[in-house]
Structure 1
Amino acid sequence: MTCDVWLPFHADEIEGLPQGPRYRFWDGGLDFPADPADCAFYCVPYLKPPAVARRPLPEMTSVRAVQTLSAGVDHVLPGLASLRPGVALCNARGVHEASTAELALTLVLASLRGIPDFVRGQDAEEWRTGFRPSLADKSVLIVGYGAIGSAIEDRLAPFELARVARVARSARATERGPVHPLAELPELLPHFDVVVLSTPLTESTRGLVDAAFLARMKDGALLVNVARGPVVDTGALLAELERGRITAALDVTDPEPLPPGHPLWHAPGVLVSPHVGGPTSAFRPRAERLLARQLTLFVNREPLRNVVLTTGR
């Protein structure tokens, strides 16, 4: 197959790429590496602003596959309207589960055990001892039980929890137990000490965590967001944090990046990390393996994996 493939990595650095395509390196720079009209497979640059990721799409008249290196595809979706029917949009399922689950567990433990306060105490040379909550014997609700939600539960398993419950768009059974539908959230929320958000950003999850959601959470509960910032209504969250009724650990925010002076920076009981669930040492090797697999399928005209949607359907 002779066609252009745009990658955010240099092709000679990726083991296992199939022969045939013309590999073009583009990591979001001002100049395109070739005519976008000749691109058949477009791998979206990672950790670039949405406008950068979408910029070549209107000119990609021959593209047949768009591959993200993120689990979410919401940053690309607005650009798909310019594409012809039949283009496959694929996400990076299999790349980020380990890193994001690690961070979710880190945020839970750091928040419960008071690690931010210990760091501030160290900076001030103060010995801030005392009792802190433990994760042991707590109940955890995972909202968004796809590959990342499942990986989060894998890492929670050794911590002697009282209970784990799972919520997704629709009900289903798993080896670990039932997955509840989103419609059951109001009944579930009052019974959990920790609520972890790992759901994709869709029209049904945008603003899911609103004032009513937060009001249903247990007094003293911890909200952890490793999903997308707009899943949470920031104003409603700030109101609950200011009252001191719940705490939060946020890897993603709305707006993002969180600007200087925003009240979330200094809200009581909140820990903020700068959207670092994915970018770790685990990312690059997994991303390269994904690309090698996907492009081998693409060159051989076999069905791609991780297809989220196909344009025109």
Structure 2
Amino acid sequence: MSTTFTIDSSTSRATPVSAPMKRVTVPAVRKRKGAEPLVMLTAYTVRNAQLFDPHCDLLLVGDSLGQVIYGLPSTVPVTLEMMAAHGAAVVRGSYHAMVVIDMPFGSYEASPEKAFESAAWLLKQTGAAAVKLEGGAAMAPTVKFLVDRGIPVMGHVGLTPQAVNMLGGYGARGRTQEEAAKIIDDGQAIDRAGAFAMVVEGVVEPIAIELTRTVECVTIGIGASAHCDGQVLVAEDMLGLFERTPRFVKRYGDMASFVSGCAEAYADEVRSRAFPGPAQTYQPK
């Protein structure tokens, strides 16, 4: 038994609760290669973690929080401190899913030693089980350095958002033979370095299929292929909280309209003095 925290919906307060901590482990993820697809969603808050946890094998505290939570133009400005705060919240809000946390731009590229310092700090601050970093063959020595020192690593190849300034945008990758070959080489290098999984993002489908076939680690697609060993989406995209929907996203709800409608109804009732009513006020006994 391990003490974690949950949100008491009647008070909206975090309350310590004893619960069995039987989280998905790295070996369990590895065993899903070629088996039932893995389910992963991004999560940045305690409440979303609670809601997603029963349905997901992995929760990704993505540096996409820079855009989704903070309104930044890209993931580049995200800091270790941002990742740590949200990562700790997601760990507190979950029991079952493995929590993976992104290493933000600038926190790992300089050297394997710098990457270890950043990764160790993140895991200590959050309680997450693994880190994710972007990059292919150039980052393979860093992946091996971390894995050899006991830090599980999820790779990320194809469209790598932290390199948006080099890539010139968020378009699909692998449309030329040269680019396709590089993505395959990058994925295989990360696999050989010891990554237990890798995100394959924004690539033409044959690349995702070939990578999944040729690497030992599990592949998790986003804008890739249903033939990957799992799938991930940014939860806010999946829920329909933004007007723009990337091609690779399926909207499973229209939360933006729902939330806006609730806010409109609240505003109307406040202005008409219909809220608060007798049910929401305290009267003398």
Task: Quickly name the TM-score band, shorter chain normalised.
Answer: 0.3 to 0.5
- Give the TM-score normalised by structure 1: 0.30
- Give the TM-score normalised by structure 2: 0.33
* Structure with the largest fraction of helix: 2
